[in-house]
């Protein structure tokens, strides 16, 4: 084989390896023990475009549910403060599902919501058949000014699902949709 071709293949191979290693490091950060404790099951997680990590975890004995958000070095927000059965009352899940693909403008919208002071936090995972659009992220809504900040998630880093809350009676069901 020509040395030039061999060199080119080697360079592309190393770049591919490095790219995969970087992607694996990004995803690995989400599995950090700060964001999921040993006694917890991971319900939903992703990394945002600004490299923050969001997790929703539940105690393995269903003793509590918890939201965590921050950097790979530090959890900046954990909610609720008290991790006990009362935590389930602090979250609300709403969804809308319309089957039928593109012909019926199929959608699957999932939202887990909680409020702290004058802010509403909306964790979302959505699918729109038209345009085959998938998205995940968290919207923070200032309820006094109605200003919304959308922290978009990197979809390929998403693990888990919010849709299991459809069948979980421990979480309040809401009707508000945020798209």
Tell me the C-alpha distance between 102 and 125, whole Å: 18
Place of tokens 């790979």: 72
β-pair type (53-59, 119-128): unpaired
Question: Which tokens in the block code for residue 143?
Answer: 């309820």
pTM of the model: 0.81
Cβ–Cβ under 8 Å, residues 114 and 138: no
pLDDT in tens, 87-125: 999 999 999 999 988 888 899 999 999 999 999 999 999
pLDDT band at 15 (very low <50, low <70, confident <90, very high): very low
Burial of 1-20, coded b for 16+ CB within 10 Å and e otherwise, reads eeeeeeeeeeeeeeeeeeee
Provide, rounded to the nearest whole percent, the portion of the chain with pLDDT above 70: 82
Place of tokens 């003793």: 63
């Amino acid at each position: 084989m020509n040395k030039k071709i061999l060199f080119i293949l080697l360079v592309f191979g190393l770049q591919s390896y490095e790219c995969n290693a970087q992607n694996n490091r990004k995803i690995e950060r989400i599995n950090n023990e700060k964001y999921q404790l040993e006694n917890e099951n991971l319900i939903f997680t992703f990394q945002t475009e600004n490299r923050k990590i969001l997790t929703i975890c539940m105690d393995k004995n269903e003793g509590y549910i918890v939201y965590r958000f921050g950097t790979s070095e530090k959890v900046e927000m954990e909610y609720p403060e008290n991790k006990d059965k009362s935590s389930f009352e602090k979250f609300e899940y709403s969804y809308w599902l319309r089957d039928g693909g593109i012909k019926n403008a199929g959608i699957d919208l999932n939202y887990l919501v909680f409020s702290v002071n004058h802010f509403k936090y909306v964790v979302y995972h959505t699918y729109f058949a038209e345009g085959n659009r998938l998205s995940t992220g968290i919207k923070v809504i200032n309820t006094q000014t109605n200003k919304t900040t959308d922290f978009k998630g990197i979809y390929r880093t998403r693990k888990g699902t919010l849709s299991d809350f459809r069948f979980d009676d421990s979480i309040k069901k809401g009707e508000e949709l945020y798209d």
